[in-house]
């Protein structure tokens, strides 16, 4: 039985701003209206309470991968990221054979139907061979709408997003198909021009997959997809804030141009998230993690950055302490914006009454000390 819980004394981040000496009341699985005079269950003076984090792009963690096709392995990855504050996540696959991806989707769809995941993100195989990054080149293919539809159907209504290169043959038609089926079309791993990226947005694309990474650089005579995706108000831009994928000045540029309401921090984490250095699988490839940075170990893309080992609590702390972003903007990027992107903004992403009781407790140094999901403590604060 989930009991009524009153968290008091903390700085609470709400959509309207930071409430000093705030209170959050949880009744069952949801945030409840506060009742005057109700004694606190936890005195969190000196702490922060923020909404649970929402990750729309994560491949694994805890030594496990969502691409394994194994439900228990997927649950290991889920538990790992939940312990770091990600209470809602979309499982991302990597490029593979279509039949293999369909089998993976069947497993992930069941976990979504059980409430363990918020859906599936297909990253590849419909991406550019010139910007494939950590995806196996020999398995890439053009985004034929029939193939795209096969993966959407395999997900049984749980496909939330698909990353593709819109400049490839069938790209724009596939963007339209995804939009028609309620699946977010994301522009990424692309070699597109500025004009081609704008065409994709006009066709229905609404996300930039890990902006700046795996796409042409921003140049003064050839602005490429980065400028197009940054400037268009219809696009949410993903950013990997791990100190490896993006220079702080580039992160600042993205926030300044897109605005805090159009940024979604992601991990793009692979199986090594929450683990030590070593060798890990990423789909059909081997990845070596050294000093926390994951790179493809061999083959034609050897040395390419292979996702990250990031968790969102680390992204939060870095954003506030290194990038000097306002806490309210960081909360938007980690919770409200990705929740809205997934169509879940009425359930998760903020601490308003009626929302799911998903929250994270941080100490005064922005280190995670508590995680609650649907009213149950996954990490219990050691305060009273």
Residue in 268, 329, 356, 358 annotated catalytic: 268
DSSP 333: I
* DSSP type of residue 162: E
- The answer to whether 102 is a known ligand-binding residue is no
Q: Is 47 annotated as a binding residue?
A: no
123 is in an annotated binding site: yes
Please tell me whether 214 is known to bind a ligand. Answer: yes
What is the enclosing helix (H) or strand (E) of 181? none
Does the annotation list 57 as a binding residue? no
The two three-digit tokens of residue 267, written as one number: 């991990």
Question: Residue 78, annotated ligand binder?
Answer: no
Is 134 annotated in a binding site? The answer is yes
Residue 210 counted as an annotated binding residue = yes
Q: Is 141 marked as binding a ligand? A: no
Query: Is the Cβ–Cβ distance between 327 and 51 less than 8 Å?
Result: no
Q: What long-range pairs does 30-36 form, CB within 8 A, spacing at least 24?
A: 30/353, 30/354, 30/355, 30/356, 30/357, 30/375, 31/351, 31/352, 31/353, 31/354, 31/355, 31/356, 31/357, 32/4, 32/353, 33/353, 34/6
Q: Measuring CA to CA, how many Å separate 114 from each of 65, 82, 107, 159, 330?
A: 18, 16, 11, 15, 29
CA separation for the pair 242, 314 (Å, rounded): 8
Measure the CA angle with vertex 85, ends 247 and 112; round to 5°.
Answer: 105
SS3 12: strand
Q: Is 307 annotated as a binding residue?
A: yes
What is the residue-wise DSSP string for 241-290?
-SSSSS-HHHHHHHHHHH-GGGEEEE--B-TTTTS-SEEEEETTEEEEEE
Would residue 268 show up in a list of annotated catalytic residues for this protein?
Answer: yes
Q: Is 221 annotated as a binding residue?
A: yes
Bond before 362 cis per omega within 30 degrees: no
Annotated binding site: 123, 134, 189, 210, 213-214, 221, 245, 305-307
Annotated binding site for Zn(2+): 123, 189, 210
Annotated binding site for substrate: 134, 213-214, 221, 245, 305-307
Q: Which residues are catalytic?
A: 268
């Amino acid at each position: 039985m989930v009991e009524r819980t009153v968290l008091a004394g903390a700085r609470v981040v709400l959509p309207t701003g930071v409430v000093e000496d705030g209170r959050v009341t949880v009744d069952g699985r949801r945030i409840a209206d506060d009742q005057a005079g109700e004694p606190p269950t936890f005195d969190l003076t000196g702490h922060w309470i923020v909404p649970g984090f929402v990750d729309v792009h994560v491949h694994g963690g805890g030594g496990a991968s969502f691409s394994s096709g194994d439900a228990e392995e997927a649950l290991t990855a889920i538990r790992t990221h939940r312990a770091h504050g990600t209470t809602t996540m979309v499982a991302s696959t990597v490029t593979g054979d279509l039949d293999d991806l369909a089998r993976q989707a069947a497993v992930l769809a069941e976990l979504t139907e059980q409430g363990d995941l918020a859906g599936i993100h297909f990253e590849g195989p419909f991406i550019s061979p010139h910007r494939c990054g950590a995806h196996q080149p020999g398995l890439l293919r053009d985004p034929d709408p029939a193939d795209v539809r096969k993966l959407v159907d395999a997900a049984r209504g749980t496909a939330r997003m698909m990353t593709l290169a819109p400049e490839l043959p069938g790209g724009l038609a596939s963007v339209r198909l995804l939009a028609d089926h309620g699946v977010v079309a994301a522009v990424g791993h692309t070699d597109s021009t500025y004009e081609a990226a704008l065409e994709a947005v006009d066709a229905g694309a609404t996300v930039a997959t890990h902006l700046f990474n795996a796409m042409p650089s921003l140049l003064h005579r050839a602005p490429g997809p980065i400028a197009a995706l940054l400037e268009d108000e219809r696009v949410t831009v993903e950013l990997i804030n791990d100190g490896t994928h993006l220079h702080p000045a580039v992160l600042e540029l993205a926030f300044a141009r897109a605005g805090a309401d159009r940024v979604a921090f992601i991990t793009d984490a692979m199986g090594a998230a929450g683990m030590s250095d070593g060798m890990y699988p990423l789909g059909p490839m081997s990845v070596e993690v050294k000093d926390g940075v994951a790179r493809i170990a061999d083959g034609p893309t050897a040395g390419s950055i292979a996702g990250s080992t990031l968790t969102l609590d680390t992204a939060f702390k870095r954003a506030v302490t290194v990038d000097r972003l306002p806490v309210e903007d960081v909360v938007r990027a980690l919770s409200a914006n990705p929740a809205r992107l997934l169509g879940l903004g009425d359930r998760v992403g903020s601490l308003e009454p009626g929302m799911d009781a998903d929250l994270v407790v941080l100490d005064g140094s922005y280190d995670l000390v508590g995680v609650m999901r649907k009213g149950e403590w996954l990490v219990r604060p050691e305060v009273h």
